[in-house]
Amino acid sequence: MAYKIFLDTNILLDFFSEDRANSKEAQELFLHISNSSFQVCLSESVLTTFDYLMAKSLSKTVRAKILLDICSIMTILACNNDAAILAAKNNFPDYEDALLFEIAAKNEVDYIVTNDKLAIKSLGNESTKVISTKGFLKVIQQL
């Protein structure tokens, strides 16, 4: 089964920063993504946050190349009023995570892949599961 997955900002950071704790898992995840029929999604805010955080270590030219590569292989999901309102009404303490969840759920994503422990523990439902990189790699192994 081909899954539609949504990547959180921390997954991109893990992939592009070898010194991060989940870097190896992110590298393995991206290897599976490139060799499979997964539809990979993220939001425009994931892109802008990623670019902002990577500006400390990468030049504008390198970041632009990475962003163009990401846009060529992933689907960028837009935020809208409905998602923003639902996220604001969500009881979750982190608005950004609630907003990403609503964007992903609206777009019928199967899994949100994140290493945010609070999001994994508190967000998700029957149709949109929130899972760590390690957890999703286990799902892939069962395919």
Q: Where are the domains of the chain?
A: 4-141
pLDDT number for residue 46: 96
Q: Is the pLDDT of residue 5 over 90?
A: yes
| 112 in Cβ contact with 103 (< 8 Å) | no
Q: Kindly report each contact of residues 1-4 with a partner whose C-beta sits within 8 Å and lies 24 or more positions away, as own/partner.
A: 1/143, 2/36, 2/37, 2/38, 2/39, 3/38, 3/39, 3/110, 3/111, 3/139, 4/38, 4/39, 4/41, 4/107, 4/108, 4/109, 4/110, 4/111
Note the pTM of the prediction, 2 decimals. 0.93
pLDDT number for residue 141: 87
Q: Is the pLDDT of residue 101 over 60?
A: yes
Mean per-residue pLDDT for 87-115?
Answer: 93
Could you tell me which CATH class the domain 4-141 is placed in?
A: alpha beta
Q: Is the pLDDT of residue 119 over 90?
A: no
CA angle, 134 as apex, 133 and 135 as ends, to 5°? Answer: 90
When pLDDT is cut at 50, 70 and 90, the band that residue 58 belongs to is very high
- 142 Cβ neighbours under 8 A, 6+ residues apart: none
The token pair that represents 85 in the structure block: 């309102």
Q: Is the pLDDT of residue 29 over 80?
A: yes
Give helix then strand counts, H and E, for the chain.
8, 5
pLDDT number for residue 78: 95
Q: How far apart are CA 96 and CA 74, in angstroms?
A: 20
pLDDT number for residue 125: 83
Average pLDDT, the chain: 92
